[in-house]
Structure 1
Amino acid sequence: MLASKRNLGLSIALAINLVLGGGAVQAASSDPATAAYGPELQGFDYPFPVERYEFTSQRQPLQMAYLDVRPDHPNGQTAVLLHGKNFCAATWESQIRALSGAGYRVVAPDQIGFCKSSKPAAYQFSFRQLAENTHALLGKLGVQNPIVIGHSTGGMLAAHYALLYPKETAQLVLVNPIGLEDWSAKGVPPISLAQWLERDLKTSADSIRNYEKATYYAGHWEERYEPWVQMLAGLYRGPGKEQVAWNSALLYDMIMTQPVVYRLPQITVPTLLMIGQKDITAIGKDLAPADVKPTLGHYPELGKATAKAIPGSRLVEFPELGHAPQMSDPETFNRALIEGIAKR
């Protein structure tokens, strides 16, 4: 399904990418394992129509790609889905279908620096800035008081959104968010932008797959995960590899230096935590001293601590799932999500 319109999309992407300065887009291979995509994922199709929000931020023109899926039988509520570091709006496909089927309008943006959105050469990345960008997009769309659902890095962003706009956030849902512990304070050594860039330029389909198998899917692998591996790997096979890697380095630095754990008690909106118990995610763990590594990324403990920290929050645990429960077992996750936000 994702490849059905790729040839047409790629010809359009050639023109767009040249205008945006991203260089020529390589022809997409019929084999996803060798396909190369443009720096804004030109050549890779999403399962829903992609729209663009053009705006000015930090004195430069940017565009933010997003999905806006309206239900056949609306219930008057909007769910906003915020993706993680190695994810895109498209990876919420199952949740978009489930939520829209339950009557929710669903808005799922690609944040600046990610996926089909702009990759600026110079940008002061912060969770506040990304939250402000998202708030501006929702204002343009006329969305008020959304249910904000964030996964992984998107969970950190969702928490900041609720902190910035508590009176404009109906509910907050955090799905295996990162930032629930301060890795630097626990002993992960400082990592420079140059180091992040060097690491990111080595990204390959194999490195993505191995990491995701270990953390996202609790050691299990299914072929249905492979398209999302190739989505990311295709960015690093494309002509915008350096551009993509530089933005990724800036984003890793943002994640490491802006943990949200200290502000959790300040969240005042109704909050639902959805935590895969076999998650072991801790960015920079591989660089930590041997005695520090075993202390990082214990989500059974982090989930419970977060539930205690956020006043009145509710915790749903998935005993056999890892960092991406919404992808490992979408049927169970979607049911728990829809039931959870209905209870409030």
Structure 2
Amino acid sequence: MSVTLSRWLPGLVLSAALPLMAHAATETAPAEGPAYGPELQGFQYPYTLKHFAFESQGQKLQMGYMDVAANGKANGRTVVLMHGKNFCAATWDSSIKALSDAGYRVIAPDQIGFCTSSKPEHYQYSFQQLATNTQQLLKALGIQKATVLGHSTGGMLATRYALLFPEQVDQLAMVNPIGLEDWKALGVPYRTVDQWYQRELKVTAKGIRDYERTTYYDGRWKPEFDRWVDMLAGLSKGPGKTQVAWNSALIYDMIFTQPVYYEFKDLKMPTLLLIGTSDTTAIGKDLAPPEVKAKIGHYEVLGKQVAKLIPQSTLIEFPGMGHAPQMEEPEKFHQALLGWLGKTPSAP
């Protein structure tokens, strides 16, 4: 295993992963925005990008990550950030700054299959595997215990990490995590990996933007969100796009078939749920029959329900905000997050 600084060369594209919005796109949609390499070469991260080399499932892989020191007086604590499915470590930029300014060391990796990290030809994706990869990174960095903060799919991963390595988690925080319900059990139809793959190949910037505006931001849009749309769409414009699309399809299958919902009761550390109540995200919602679609993705209800399942939970709601309150209203969000981190005792 090794940790190295990035040596990026500008490159052309590979494909990203947004099947949920792919229905808004077409095969003949015109190219929009910049194109990026298969590991996001050409896209500028907000802090120095490093790489962790390791072996997994018989393959040599690497994870891109940012390791940002406390800005000013350090408090001796570390926060590990876990990004969502349609996000990257770079989308944590305002959170990294807020946490660093408050004295925390911040580690923000891109998981295998995402953004600046490897897209293997074959990989058995599981939340346990991604959690283990992350634990290996932290071990290489000499981090024995940390606060874990996950957003969206990163909330499912953070939950699995906390269940696998409870002694290494001081506090757990989740921002609009998906997986607060079991879509399969609620009647959402199964989509095969091949079907996910075909949808991934049709991703466009317009499809991403339309989906995020409707589902993530309750019809609202800020110009600064366009950078993240271009980041995702830029991954789907080059000769390697099929490999990224295939990894993305495997990851969506993992998300749909590996619920963490039934294990929230087993979390042993102080846990914070940060919920934008206007969020309507639900995997496979576009395929669900009307009676199923009507009952899934209601975060104003889900946050309250799951808070009752977690033994040491605190729920903070952001009325009127959507799937990414840390990006939508960063000042209000980080005030709430830092307030909880500062007053909540760590796990013993």
TM-score by shorter chain over 0.5: yes
Equivalent position of 1:212 in the other structure: 212
Cα distance in 1 between the residues matched to 2:270 and 2:202: 41
Aligned partner of 1:190 in structure 2 is 190
Q: 1:69 and 1:207 mapped to 2: Cα distance?
A: 33
In structure 2, give the amino acid aligned to 1:182: D
TM-score, scaled relative to structure 1 = 0.91
> Partners of 1:312 and 1:38 in 2: how far apart?
43
1:293-313 residue CA offsets vs partner (Å, 9 max, x unmatched):
101101111101110000020
Amino acid at match of 1:37: Y
How far off is 1:33 after superposition? 4.2
Give the corresponding residue for 2:55.
56
Q: Which TM-score applies when normalising by structure 2?
A: 0.90
Q: Deviations over 1:179-213 (max 9, x none)?
A: 11110111111110110001111100011001111
- CA deviation digits over 1:195-240, x for unaligned, max 9? 0001111100011001111122121001110000000000011222
What does 1:37-76 correspond to in 2, within 5 Å? Answer: 37-71=36-70, 72-76=72-76
CA distance in 1, matches of 2:258, 2:150: 16
Runs of 4+ residues over 6 Å off in structure 1? none
Aligned partner of 1:288 in structure 2 is 288
Counterpart AA for 1:51: K
- Which structure has more relative contact order (CA 8 Å, sep 6+)? It is 2
- Equivalent residue runs for 1:190-269 within 5 Å: 190-269=190-269
- What is the rounded CA distance, in whole Å, between the counterparts of 2:158 and 2:164 in structure 1? 10
Amino acid at match of 1:52: H
Seq. identity, %: 59
Q: Give the distance between the partners of 2:255 and 2:38, measured in 1 at CA.
A: 21
Q: Measure, in 2, the Cα distance between the counterparts of 1:48 and 1:118.
A: 19
SS at match of 1:170: strand
Partners of 2:306 and 2:36 lie apart in 1 by: 38
Q: Deviations over 1:139-184 (max 9, x none)?
A: 0001121000000000000000100111110000011001111101
2: CA distance, partners of 1:48 / 1:312: 34
Residue by residue over 1:284-329, the C-alpha shift from the partner in whole angstroms, topping out at 9 and shown as x without a partner, is 0010112111011011111011100000200000001001111100
Partner residue, 1:329? 329
1:341 maps to amino acid: L
**Map 1:98-117 → 2, pairs under 5 A:** 98-117=98-117
Cα shift at 1:35: 1.3
Equivalent position of 1:277 in the other structure: 277
CA distance in 2: counterparts of 1:227 and 1:202, whole angstroms: 20
What residue number does 1:35 align with? Answer: 34
Question: Whose helix proportion is higher, 1 or 2?
Answer: 1
- Structure 2 Cα separation of the partners of residues 322 and 331 of structure 1: 15
- CA drift of 1:34 comes to 2.8
Name the SS for the 1:303 alignment partner. Answer: helix
Deviates more, 1:46-55 or 1:209-218: 209-218
Number of paired residues? Answer: 321
Q: Secondary structure at the match of 2:294?
A: helix
Q: Within 1, Cα distance between the matches of 2:175 and 2:238?
A: 31
Task: Tell me what 1:171 maps to.
Answer: 171
Unaligned residue ranges in structure 2 (runs of 5+): 1-6, 15-30
Shift of 1:13: 4.3
